[in-house]
């Protein structure tokens, strides 16, 4: 019976707000993304955003070319021997 009484105390301690000191980073992000520096918003985050953007564009272009290749192959008549 004593074990059941300890469960609510453990639950309250686990969700206590005093154990975490989180800083609100939203104002810093707003300054970064609203800054007028001539960059598009999808690359304002830095090098990692630029690399992610370029990888996405590369995969998109490669996938489009691959799809067009197989569309061309499928449109050719089969050879009858």
Q: Under a CB-based contact definition with an 8 Å cutoff, are residues 43 and 49 in contact?
A: yes
Q: Torsions phi, psi of 74, nearest 5?
A: -70, -25
Asked if 39 and 28 count as a contact pair (C-beta separation under 8 A), the reply is: no
| pLDDT higher than 60, residue 4 | no
Is 0.75 surpassed by the pTM of this model?
no
47-62: average pLDDT: 96
Q: What is the pLDDT of residue 79?
A: 81
Mean pLDDT of 23-48: 90
**Secondary structure in 3-state letters for 1-38:** CHHHHHHHHHHHHHCCHHHCCCCCCHHHHHHHHHCCCC
Flag whether pLDDT at 61 surpasses 60: yes
pLDDT band at 68 (very low <50, low <70, confident <90, very high): very high
Mean pLDDT of the chain: 84
């Amino acid at each position: 019976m004593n074990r059941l009484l300890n469960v609510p105390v453990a639950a309250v301690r686990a969700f206590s707000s005093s154990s975490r000191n989180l800083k609100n980073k939203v104002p810093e992000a707003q300054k970064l993304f609203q800054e007028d520096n001539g960059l598009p918003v999808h690359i304002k985050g830095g090098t990692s955003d630029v690399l992610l953007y370029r990888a996405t564009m590369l995969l998109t272009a490669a996938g489009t070319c691959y799809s067009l290749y197989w569309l061309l192959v499928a449109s050719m008549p089969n050879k009858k021997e």
